[in-house]
């Protein structure tokens, strides 16, 4: 149980493109979903926390207009990187949790902006 699916796993696109990443909890309803960014050989950096039906809470230094998060249902959250530039290239990982339970992670999306 507690499977989290993230799609796509790999994106390569041109600078200026907007990219949408989906995160789904397949076998449970997630009260909270989280979005992380991970640089090579670094730990995970929390970008934002998202509760179903409410606005996401962004960490300090994360631009909310750049990284749009939508959490429309208890099983789906999306992260849209708007007008992506090469410095946005990274490994983006989502996680989902139910109240009182640990976070379960998706397999990440490797984003490369040319």
What minimum distance in Å lies between the beta carbon of 23 and other proteins? Answer: 10
Residue (17 or 51) nearer to other proteins, CB: 51
Residue (3 or 72) nearer to other proteins, CB: 3
Q: What is the DSSP letter of 110?
A: E
Distance between CA atoms of residues 105 and 107, nearest Å: 7
What minimum distance in Å lies between the beta carbon of 91 and other proteins? Answer: 8
Is the backbone peptide bond immediately before 36 cis, with ω within 30 degrees of 0?
no
Residue (29 or 42) nearer to other proteins, CB: 42
Phi, psi of 88 (to 5 degrees): -85, -5
DSSP H helical segments within 42-90, as ranges?
none
Binding site for other proteins (CB under 8 A): 2, 4, 6, 31-32, 34, 42-44, 46, 49, 51, 57, 91, 93, 95, 97-108, 110
What minimum distance in Å lies between the beta carbon of 110 and other proteins? Answer: 7
Phi, psi of 78 (to 5 degrees): -125, 145
């Amino acid at each position: 149980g507690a499977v989290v699916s993230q799609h796509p796993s790999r994106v390569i696109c041109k600078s200026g493109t907007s990219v949408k990443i989906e995160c789904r909890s397949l076998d449970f309803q997630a009260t909270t979903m989280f979005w992380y960014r991970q640089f090579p050989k670094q730990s995970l950096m929390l970008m934002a926390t998202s509760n179903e039906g409410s606005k996401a809470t962004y960490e300090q230094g994360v631009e909310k207009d750049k990284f749009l998060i939508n959490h429309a249902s208890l099983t789906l959250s999306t992260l849209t990187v708007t007008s992506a530039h090469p410095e946005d290239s990274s490994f983006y990982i989502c996680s989902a949790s139910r109240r009182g339970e640990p976070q379960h992670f998706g397999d990440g999306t490797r984003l490369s902006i040319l």
